[in-house]
Amino acid sequence: MKHLVTGDRNAYDRCIFQVFDHRGRALLIAGLGVYPNTGVIDAYATLRLDDRMHAVRASDALTDDRMNLTVGPLRITVDEPLRRLTLHCDADPDDPGSLSYDITWHADFPAVWEPHHTQRRGDRLMLEGRRFVQAGSCTGTIRAAGEEIAVTAGEWTGTRDRSWGVRPIPGEEGGRAAEELRTEGFHWLWIPVRFDDRFLMVIAQEDADGYRTLSEAVLVRDGHHDIQLGWPHTDITYRPGTRHPERAVVHLTDPARKPLELGVEILASSPLAIGAGYPPATDWQHGTWQGRGWRDRRSYDLSDPAVHPMATYGVTDHSARFTLDGRTGHGIFEHGTFGRHDPSGFSGYDSVAG
């Protein structure tokens, strides 16, 4: 939309795609956002390939052509709404071996509304978002570091999220509320899972004491209405000395009150604070004005987590293998836990798994 009902500088409209192989070698994350009240459009793509992260970021002035989802070398084309989209990234003309891709994303299930998401700091509304999520399959080619990777149906999965509303952009003075109403802790799970014949979506957001502020567990099957699977509870096994999940079990309940267990095995991990512009990234964050025609490419070494300490305080997208009721599926285990979280046994920001 060109004119919004709100003048809030933090108004946004954004999407994210996760494209990953079932072996756990490659995880591509790509997204694009517009920020009408700051006049910014930006996009990014990161590829986790073994222990290297290849990143492309671009930002520019927002134009009146809101149907043109292009920023620099990055482009998203809606070929058939909610059914087929194309993701494209040009290589750097000066470096033919740089990250580029051409991927067609095919929906395997209808889009699913997520719960209305709100967060406040004191009396101020800081975040209000509407979102939908969808899972599908992908075909195409990814090129990076001189290697060409075939994205083939049946061996790769694609998930995506589209959201809009109000979400904080860096650069605003928070005033007394930011100083005196600091968050003690935050725990977040966002888990879209694609099986051959069904799609499962689980969301949980909790405060420091475990109070649930957002919760969802819904199953979608072809020809059936959405089936609610109760109040999800998650047992996460962390790598000792970290908050990095290695596996998990999500406890669900079917409509007949039968317990269900969603098993999670982490395959590959992509911290969104590295390359993708999510907080608390220090080199670039979404919605910030970088000037007209800003382009940036870089590569990160992820073999030593100590090199990227801020990633610990940001959300990480993990590609994962899932099991449920005798079926095996693939999806994203998006996880972030910062500060105190009593159910996990974390007492503060420096607390880690034993």
pTM to 2 decimals?
0.96
**Distances from the Cα of 274 to the Cαs of 56, 89, 106, 140, 153, in angstroms?**
11, 19, 27, 25, 28
Question: Mean of the pLDDT values across residues 247-271?
Answer: 97
Pseudo-torsion of CA 41, 43, 109, 229, nearest 10°? Answer: -90
Which tokens sit at 263?
A: 């098993």
Cα(285)–Cα(42) distance, integer angstroms:
10
- Residue 64 to residue 79: CA distance in whole angstroms: 21
55: β partners: 46, 298
Q: Report DSSP state, residue 116.
A: P
Q: Is the pLDDT of residue 224 over 80?
A: no
- H helices present in 220-353, as ranges: none
With cut-offs at 50, 70 and 90, classify the pLDDT of residue 225: confident
Q: Per residue in 11-67, pLDDT tens?
A: 999 999 999 999 999 999 999 999 999 999 999 999 999 999 999 999 999 999 989
pLDDT digits (tens, 9 = 90+) for 132-154: 999 999 999 999 999 999 999 99
Pairing of strands 11-21, 26-35: antiparallel
Domains of the chain with bracketed CATH: 12-168+183-344 (2.40.370.10)
pLDDT tens, position by position, 305-317: 889 998 999 999 9
The predicted pLDDT at position 172 comes to 86
The answer on pLDDT for 76 being more than 90 is: yes
pLDDT of residue 229: 97
Record the tokens describing residue 287, joined without a space. Answer: 């919605």
Q: What is the pLDDT of residue 223?
A: 65
94, 144, 270 from 164: Cα distances, Å:
36, 31, 23
pLDDT score, position 181: 87
> pLDDT of 176-213, one tens digit each?
888 888 889 999 999 999 999 999 999 999 999 999 99
- In DSSP notation, 121-181 reads ETTEEEEEEEEEEEEEEEEEEEEETTEEEEE-BTTEEEEEEEEEEE---TT---HHHHHHS
Q: Can you tell me the mean pLDDT for 114-120?
A: 94
